[in-house]
Chains A and B, each alone.
Chain A
Amino acid sequence: MATANFRNDLVKELPYLRRFARGLCGDASLADDLVQDCVERALTKSHLYDPARPLRAWLYAVLRNIFVSNWRRNAKFVGAKTVDDLVGFEGSVAPEQDSNFSVAVITEALDTLPTQQREVLVLISLEEMSYKDASEIIGVPIGTIMSRLSRARAHLENILEKRGTTVLRRVK
């Protein structure tokens, strides 16, 4: 049974869980489903939480495990997009200002990343987790985190560069 303190702390982490989930799966309502599952599991597994460790990292691990197991089982979580899918992109997104990318463009670019790279990128670039925390959350050595991270960043940069020129061409 989760204690009242644990529940209170859990409520405080909800905004961050929602952001992490949004980064992982892009879609807002899928992301909130994921957070809902995470909260339910965290409450039943609260006795496994070691209060000496940061709660956020523990919750991220719970959420990430649900995401990965659902993603393996359930096609709805699969990003399944490739760079080729982006070519047919409709110009429904407004022309970019100051060369910033829209949320839709960034989400689509993230969807082209393999999940193993995306989760590392989201944990470190968006959630600002340390390499050590990311390594514990995902359960791989720090060296693996670092190589996935650099590949994810290079891949994303590549996609966004192409998208940037596509957008510019359309605007002209």
Chain B
Amino acid sequence: MAFETVENWALHAFADGELEGEERSAMERLLVENDEARKALVAINYQKSELRRAFGGVVDEAVPLSLIATAQGRGGRGFLPYAAMAASVVLVVMGAAGGWYSAQHSESVQTAELAHRALVAHEVYSVDVRHPVEVAAAEQDHLQAWLSKRVGTAIKIPNLDAEGFSLLGGRLVTAGDNPAGQLMYETADKQRLTIFIASNTENKDSALRLVENGKLITCYWSDKKLAMAVTGDMAKDEMMVLAKNIYEQMDIKS
């Protein structure tokens, strides 16, 4: 085989792993003898590695939840999450909890959407055994500062050790056009709980609500500058205790 030009098809085919048997051996022999062919092969491989370096990281990015929702047949563009939620049970928790109940009875679109997003984010990320979080609990201070900065409001990461949930870490997710945070916790028997935190763009407080979706239960509310949703697989009263605890820990006097 004669080496003629850098456009020699066989060189590209070799670089792309398309040559086998005698064709491959012939190219290997040529590469030993021919400096120009070797240089051309290095250039092809260099360009391939540059392309992968530039775009390869895309596969490790968090996939936008809207794409996942569309693929799962849960709507997509123009999908109204709160319309879908009408089919699930919504319980408004009334005043028994004392000071943490607000007079805002009517369900706002924002908080209902939030619960849906929190649920989707929980389903997507909590099943991930190896990469459940972007920033691990070991870097809790960094995580807290980072999410506060991205969400735009000071966030305090609640400590749920007493309830048996230890912090795994957290990640940046989206709430519509805005950044939001997801914190993930785990029990000793690997039950996972997530807290979804977005900025409260409507700037009004809401009642605490529970929504059930299969085995999962989401408790959500908005308070001051934050809108929050806690999702996990547990009984309602257990969730209520947890949510109240989280609410109190997150209640930054401002």
Contacts and interface: CB of A to CB of B under 8 A. Distances in A.
A156 B6 CA distance: 13
B71 A150 contact: no
A39 interface: yes
Given A39-B70, A125-B47, A130 B64 contact: no
A43 B64 contact: no
A7 interface: yes
B9 A7 contact: no
Interface in A1-49: 2, 7, 10-11, 14-16, 18-19, 22-23, 32, 35-36, 39-40, 43
A151 interface: yes
Given A15-B60, A18-B61, A23-B51, 19 more contacts: A11-B68, A14-B68, A15-B59, A19-B58, A32-B67, A36-B76, A39-B70, A39-B71, A43-B70, A101-B54, A102-B54, A103-B54, A103-B55, A106-B50, A125-B47, A125-B51, A146-B12, A150-B9, A151-B7
Given A35-B67, A154-B6, A43 B58 contact: no
Nearest to B58: A19
A73 B52 CA distance: 29
Interface of B: 6-9, 12-13, 16, 18, 43-44, 47-48, 50-56, 58-61, 63-64, 66-68, 70-73, 76-77
Contacts of A153: 12, 44, 47
Nearest to B64: A32
23 contacts: A10-B71, A11-B71, A14-B63, A15-B63, A18-B61, A18-B63, A19-B58, A22-B55, A23-B55, A35-B67, A36-B76, A39-B76, A40-B76, A43-B71, A100-B50, A101-B50, A101-B54, A102-B54, A107-B54, A131-B16, A150-B7, A153-B44, A160-B50
Contacts of A35: 67
Contact of A14 (B13, B71, B76): B71
A107 B77 CA distance: 28
Nearest to A154: B7
Contacts of B6: 154
A126 interface: yes
A66 interface: no
Nearest to A9: B71
B12 A15 contact: no
B47 A130 contact: no
A130 B18 contact: yes
Contacts of B63: 14-15, 18
Contacts of A2: 73
Contacts of B52: 125-126
A20 to B, nearest CB: 9
Given A19-B56, A153-B12, A40 B70 contact: yes
A42 to B, nearest CB: 8
A55 interface: no
A160 B53 CA distance: 15
Contact of A36 (B47, B61, B70): B70
A124 B16 contact: yes
Contact of A125 (B48, B60, B68, B73): B48
